[in-house]
Structure 1
């Protein structure tokens, strides 16, 4: 393969990305399709064997949530570490306790927020845009990875998202977007329950808990931070559930 071939592949991929920046008809699935999509979402986010891999994607979204929150406060994002055990860390630099607290909060709730956005995108006709933007964000994340395991994870996710944009049939984009959204919503609950377990049963791991770190930095008890995470996750579930119910024709 020579440089011309690589240039052709790159140009073709970029054309696919740009082609996603449009609105299609919103997904209007039958009850059977909804059931199948839900089954796929649960299959990637619940069993331990599949969660071993899908959980890495949830962790990536978690750390990107921290990074985006840091940028909104003017903090400098220095790097992101990801590990195969689904742990991670985002390093940022800046002044101000409020900015640090804001950055620390937006980790666990963000997979639910993104999941809700994907569900709404599927029903409103923005699936192509959502998947194109996701592919670009995952590629951009490679610039901030600072460890070898993280590089493997980030490259794998960026490649998977790029292949999805390139090869996924247009007729299935809405279904895939909805499945990813529900998967992230389920994953956010799973991650929050794991964090709760750290605070109730595995307290020797507290040093790595976002809620514990926030409590030390702000003086606000960990329980309130855990409740705050849960409140945002619950709100996302309710909003996404209402969208699914409206499309399925269920009474409000």
Structure 2
């Protein structure tokens, strides 16, 4: 009980505003290098990529809920693939929820960077921890449950044990890693359509093309615009924080 009270108090404390993060070049370069090390090499991507996949599938899930669809379950596999089962009216809701998979990690990453720029990094960490904890109700396979539990546990530990002065740096790092991960996944799905056509049936862009009269390249372009825009906005805010 004491542990739960401590956790809840830490979550509530996180909603207090903090000072916007001020960056200097060398610490920022060090953080960027660490983020690249955790997201680009295949060995580390095998682990962190599961979290990006989790965020990807949550993007589908929340977009489905926003358009009135019913979520039957969410699956995450260790090969970085995922699946969301939902039902509702065909048409816009199915297309809208189908689109917000690949762009979601980039949008969340941009939002995390923005939270450090506007002085709300602690709130972002608390909100993220609560969302990850609540998302456990969607999972329907053991691999997905394991990924979700590890992600949720890591988020709760960060909320409770991250020193106040380090929270903005942690949130900025998570944002950068999600942005890098989203770009990596974008190149992967484009590669499926250009070089590995045998896997195209599993692509979100292909599935969206079957649900609408728009071709797959249109949806790939949509992914690129949202992800690229998120990276540019995040980069602009980071540049403004540099002193």
TM class, shorter-length: over 0.9
In structure 1, how many angstroms separate the alpha carbons of the residues matched to 2:218 and 2:39? 27
Q: Tell me how many residue pairs correspond in the alignment.
A: 243
Which residues of 2 match residues 69-84 of structure 1 at below 5 A?
Answer: 69-84=63-78
Q: In the TM superposition, what is the alpha-carbon distance from 1:96 to its structure 2 partner?
A: 2.9
**Within the alignment, does 1:43 sit opposite 2:68 as a pair?**
no
- Where does residue 203 of structure 2 map in the other structure? 209
Aligned pairs for 1:155-174 (under 5 A) are 155-174=149-168
Does residue 1:67 correspond to 2:35, yes or no? no
Confirm whether residue 152 of structure 1 aligns to residue 161 of structure 2: no
1:119-176 Cα deviation digits (max 9, x unpaired): 0111211111111111111111111100011011111111111111111111111111
Question: For 1:72-221, what aligned pairs fall within 5 Å after superposition?
Answer: 72-221=66-215
Q: Provide the residue aligned with 1:4 in structure 2.
A: none
Aligned to 2:12: 18
Q: TM-score, normalised by structure 2?
A: 0.98
Unaligned runs of 5+ in 2: none
Measured in 2, the distance between the counterparts of 1:246 and 1:186 equals: 20
Please report the RMSD computed on the Cα atoms of aligned residues, expressed in angstroms: 0.9
Match of residue 240 from structure 1: 234
Q: Secondary structure at the match of 1:79?
A: strand
TM-score, normalized by length of structure 1?
0.94
The whole-number CA distance in structure 2 between the counterparts of 1:214 and 1:110 is 16
2:22 is matched with: 28
- Give 1:219 deviation, angstroms: 2.3
Q: Give, in angstroms, the shift of residue 189 of structure 1.
A: 0.6
Please list every run of at least 4 consecutive aligned residues from structure 1 whose deviation after the TM superposition is greater than 3 angstroms.
none
